Amino acid sequence: MIRPIAIALISALSLAACTPSEPTLGPDGKPLPRLYRIPNTGEAKMQYRMLDSVNALRSASGAQPVTLDPQLTAAAATHSRDMSIQNRPWHFGSDGSSPIDRVRRVGYTGTMLGENISETYETEVETLGAWMEQPDTRDVVLDKRAVNMGFAWHQESNGKIWWTLIMGD
| Residue-wise pLDDT tens digits, 59-72 | 999 999 999 999 99
Please check whether residue 92 lies inside any domain of the structure: yes
Spatial distance between the Cα atoms of 44 and 165, rounded to a whole number of angstroms? 15
Query: What whole-number distance in Å separates Cα of residue 58 and Cα of residue 73?
Result: 19
User: In terms of pLDDT, which residue wins out, 89 or 58?
Assistant: 58
Residue 25 lies in a domain: no
Query: How many structural domains is the chain composed of?
Result: 1
Specify the DSSP element, H or E, that contains 137.
helix 135-142
- Cα separation, 17 vs 11, whole angstroms: 10
Residue 8 resides in a domain: no
| Predicted local confidence at residue 18, as pLDDT | 46
Calculate the average pLDDT of the chain. 85
Q: Which amino acid is at 99?
A: P
Mean local confidence (pLDDT), 21-25: 61
**pLDDT higher than 70, residue 84:** yes
Share in percent of the chain as helix, strand, coil (round to 5): 45, 15, 35
CB count in 10 Å sphere of residue 155: 16
- On whether residue 130 sits in a domain, the answer given is yes
Containing domain of residue 48, as a range? 40-166
CATH number of the domain encompassing residue 81: 3.40.33.10
Angle between helices 135-142 and 43-60 (to 10 degrees): 100
Quick one: average pLDDT of 107-113? 97
Amino acid at 156: E
Query: Which pLDDT belongs to residue 14?
Result: 46
What pTM value is reported for the model? 0.78
Q: How far apart are CA 152 and CA 162, in angstroms?
A: 8
- For residue 142, the surrounding DSSP H or E stretch is helix 135-142
